[in-house]
Structure 1
Amino acid sequence: MDAEIELKLFIQSQHHDFLKKILNEYPNSTPQGQKKLTNGYFDTDDLQLRRWDMGLRVRGFDNQLEQTIKTAGRVVGGIHSRPEYNVSINQKMPVLSLFPTEIWPVGNDLDSVSRSLKCIFETNFERQTWHIYLNDSLIEVALDVGEIIAQHKIDPICELEFELLAGDTSALIQLAREVAKSVPFRLGKASKAQRGYQLAGKSKPFSIESIDHVCLPKNNNVPQALSAILETALERWQLIENILVTVTNDVERLSVLWGELRRCVRLLRLTLNQFGLLDQHISPLFDHLERALEFVGPLQSCCLLLQDDANMLANISNKAVVCQQLENHINAMSISTQLASIWQHAEYGQLQLALVDLLLTTENGQHQFSQEPELDLFANKLQQASWKRIGKLMPITSAMSSEDYQDVADALDESILVGFAYGEIYPAKKREAFRLPWQDLALGISTLSAYKILRLLSELHQLDIDTWLDNKETSLLFAMEQSRKSALKVPIYW
């Protein structure tokens, strides 16, 4: 058995030649040549192997055949770690009995599974490899370019893999971060096998579940809580990327996905800042991405106005014209190409790698927090600091205008994120009673932002809706002011 530990990155084809030049010239790099690899992935019609969390492959290379089975493993960020078993064979159909008997679940019917095996999909690609020594570690870097084929459907492969052959996992991150200074990429959560099952229609489309709170450790341990928050946000970020690649025309869904991606990024930044880990190297990377995501707020505002058949605009006489201008405004944002555009910036991948590095070093106990309290005390302190900030920005004795509310939008989002990160610690009833009016205020601020966009469009295209907007904004502000003053009187739950 081999324990495969690798870091997978997705790159774009226009960067191949420059990437090869970097790897060829990298210190202590030895090019290993190029191979054509053909791979058939096997399972039963009812996906018995997949249900056992196993992946079975027959690979052809240099007139040889090798069957491989990978058993249950873990993906953290872009780091894939799975036990695997390799056996040389002389036929294209795998022979399960050649693998060690102890890998199979108790009570399995291996003969029946063997008879039912069929090729579900293929992956065929050119692999160019390099061996690189770094800090007493040996890393194999592989550039894979080709395609996944399933039922006459094709999905391109364009990946860079860093596999640890000997040494420490940290060397994978270090080498990848060096490469990332010059070549844009994004972390690769989905393996070729996962993508193949998707393409073959043998697994559900990628989806992201709504969660109310981060699942925190039960032992009240602060470093483990940090790991849980980082891993949750980073994993959701990568999952959203996988969905964004496949969604192109559903603007409302894209709005939700981009909003959730930005939320993950902001949670990561907030958490690093709380733990004193937001240094001068990582902070500018967050700044760069936040600027690239500036379209998300306007997109969400436009979609808010258009949702439910634009019910919010029901009383406007020229509703159809206003809706068309909103749709034109959305189209000008080029939402379907935003991921590819952002991905072109090297800072994007650099930030992802820096976060994976922080996650791994946290899990390895490499961060020492002075006078480390219990988790509940630490969370109480963060909640109180956030609450004081909101009280200072939204004093109960002062009236707030539309501009005032929009100015505090990011601060309110941060406060809500603190509750999202640590909410599991507290009694649900008191927690939700406290948080609900603030979440309603956040929705109100989004609506005010939507009205601001409508004012701009009205001015540009003479939509003649200013009186309607004045009335709507006045009514909303009145409701928000009442809600805010009530919310400020609700007892804290920490």
Structure 2
Amino acid sequence: MTIQLDSPNLSLFPSSIWPSNADLASTQVQLGCIFHTDFYRRAWHIHIDDSLVEVALDIGEITANGQQEALCELEFELLSGDTEALLKLAIQVASIVPVRLGKASKAQRGYRLAGKAPPLHLTALEFLPLAEHNETLSPDLTASCQTLLEIALERWQLLESMIADEHEHEPEACIALWWRMRACIRLLRITLSQFALLDARLLSQFMLIEKQLDFIEPAQALTALLGSQYLLFHRQSQSRQLKQQLRFDLDNIKLDEQLSSLWQQPEYGQLQLAAVEQLLKVSAGELGSIKPPSLRQHADSALQASWQAIFEVMSCNTAMTSTHYLQASTVLDESILVGQAYGSLYDVKSRDMFRAPWLDLTLGIKTLACYSALEHASCKLGIDLHEWLDDKQQSLLFAMESTRHNALQQLVYW
């Protein structure tokens, strides 16, 4: 049967498939095209080791409501042999051209483009669902490592799609998605390291991609000042000029181009595939050289290590400036992630009391970043805000220092 128009001709179907009272003419009038997927496919059969894989390359576009979205997909199907051949071939491809894992089907993308699908949504990262068993160490550790990797990888892909959908919308909401996506990438790195699965090559890929995400902090400060934190400076007589400069600084970050730029990095897709490769190894029971007696002791060790890292950059013996806090933000963020990863294993009250002041400090650091952005903007405009900004920062630092000292004196919950 050939479809000549944008919808099928129902009269061409066998009459026996319709109910006796079916009104085909009325149904035909109601039919319409929601979206087009127009693409050219080339296919090859690839022998890899003792396996046979069909590789299909689809290039074209999806069209809906007068909008177009580029289509460039490489699909692998195992015809015979071992499923490991799919990953091996994908890694070989990723070593030559930039690729990334695809989560949405052509139909899902078409419905989204047509506005016929609910917007993508992902709840904030809570404490992850790890469970202890009173048995041997292997089931606990293997299952927990697998859970952590699966959640981080799945959320990474979904947040990536949400950023792609959000880039034309409110910048502050968009940068919040970037912040969350980077947290998933960091959680992957931290988990692989804790389970002795992070080699030098993989670490270098993580570092390169995370370096590409350094724009997040300045963009977060700028979007906050132009949005939810506008009250920080709105009473300044030069607030209008400051706002224009902040907008100019944000435009220079080219937030709407960051995702496509990241996708062009070969290491991006290589990192995703390497994470999948490690996940499959863990699923097969292959952990690193760690031998803790139990999941709980593994979690204790991970939390203690993250706490030690915090103590080294935020020691009670040193007064911290705004620069010190901004430099310590990554260590603090990673420690909070470790707490989220293993927090479900501990008493809720003591855990949350311990974490509360550290979470307050992360908010303080974001505000310090806003003051830093204002300082840079005022300098570019030749506006003297030094005294005002210094008063604001010192007031905030006084509160943060008190919080930090109290936080460092808490009893740990692990």
TM-score, normalising length: structure 1: 0.74
| CA distances 1:403-453 after superposition (whole Å, capped 9, x unpaired) | 222222111111111001111112222211111110111121222222222
Post-superposition Cα deviations, 1:198-231, rounded to whole Å, max 9, x if no partner, equal: 2333320112221212222454711111111111
One-letter amino acid of the counterpart of residue 224, structure 1: A
Partner of 2:71: 157
Match of 1:128 in 2: 42
Query: 1:96–1:298: structure 2 CA closer, same or farther, 3 Å change rule?
Result: farther
CA root-mean-square deviation: 3.0
Alignment of 1:74-223 (within 5 A): 121-150=35-64, 153-217=67-131, 219=133, 221-223=140-142
Q: CA deviation at 1:372?
A: 4.2
* Aligned position for 2:151: 232
**Number of the residue aligned with 1:298:** 218
Cα deviation per residue 1:87-115 (whole Å; 9 max; x = unaligned)?
xxx96799999xxxxxxxxxxxxx99x99
Q: Cα distance 1:368–1:389, how it changes in 2: closer, same or farther (>3 A)?
A: closer
Shift of residue 371, structure 1, vs aligned partner = 2.1
Residue pairs, 1:52-67, within 5 angstroms: none
Structure 2: gaps spanning 5 or more residues: 134-138
Matched residues in 1 for 2:17 and 2:91: separation? 39
Match of 1:380 among 294, 297, 300: 300
Partner of 1:463: 383
Q: 1:319 to 1:271 in 2, by over 3 A?
A: same
Cα-to-partner distance string for 1:41-96 (whole Å, 9 max, x where unaligned): 99xxxxxxxxxxxxxxx9xxxxxxxxxxxxxxxxxxxxxxxxxxxxxxx9679999
Partner of 2:184: 264
Deviation sequence 1:388-408 (CA, Å, 0-9, x none): 222232222332122222222
Counterpart for residue 408 of structure 1: 328
C-alpha deviation, 1:233, in angstroms: 1.2
Partner residue of 2:136?
A: none
Superposition deviation, residue 460 in structure 1: 2.0
- Which deviates more from structure 2 when the two are superposed, residues 342-351 or residues 371-380? 371-380
Q: Which has the higher strand share?
A: 1
Contact map agreement 1:304 1:447 (CA 8 A) in 2: no
1:141-183 deviation line (CA, Å, top 9, x unaligned): 1001123344555433211111111122211111111111111
Q: Does 1:442 align with 2:356?
A: no
SS of the residue 2:218 aligns to: helix
For 1:394 and 1:274, the matched residues in 2 are separated by 22
Q: Secondary structure at the match of 1:398?
A: coil
> 1 CA distance for matches of 2:114 and 2:16?
23
- Identity over aligned residues, as a percent? 43
1:139 Cα deviation from its structure 2 partner: 0.7
CA distance in 1, matches of 2:173, 2:56: 35
Residue in 1 aligned with 2:407? 487
CA displacement 1:175-194 (0-9 Å, x = unmatched):
11111111112110111121
The alignment status of 1:252 with 2:166, answered yes or no, reads no
Inter-CA distance 41–426: structure 2 relative to 1 (3 Å threshold): farther
What amino acid is aligned across from residue 143 of structure 1 in structure 2?
Answer: L
Q: Give the count of matched residue pairs.
A: 399
1:320 matched to 2:240? yes
**1-structure distance, mates of 2:292, 2:15:** 53
Q: In the alignment, what sits opposite 1:308?
A: 228
- 1:309 shift after superposition: 6.1
In 2, Cα distance between equivalents of 1:96 and 1:134: 44
Q: Which is bigger in relative contact order (C-alpha 8 A, separation at least 6)?
A: 2
- Tell whether the 8 Å contact from 2:195 to 2:288 is kept in structure 1 after alignment: no
Task: Measure how far apart 1:368 and its partner are.
Answer: 4.9
Residue 201 of structure 2 aligns to which amino acid in structure 1? H
Q: What SS is found at the alignment partner of 2:200?
A: coil
TM-score by length of 2: 0.88
SS at match of 1:186: coil
Contact 1:41 1:121 (8 Å CA) reproduced: no
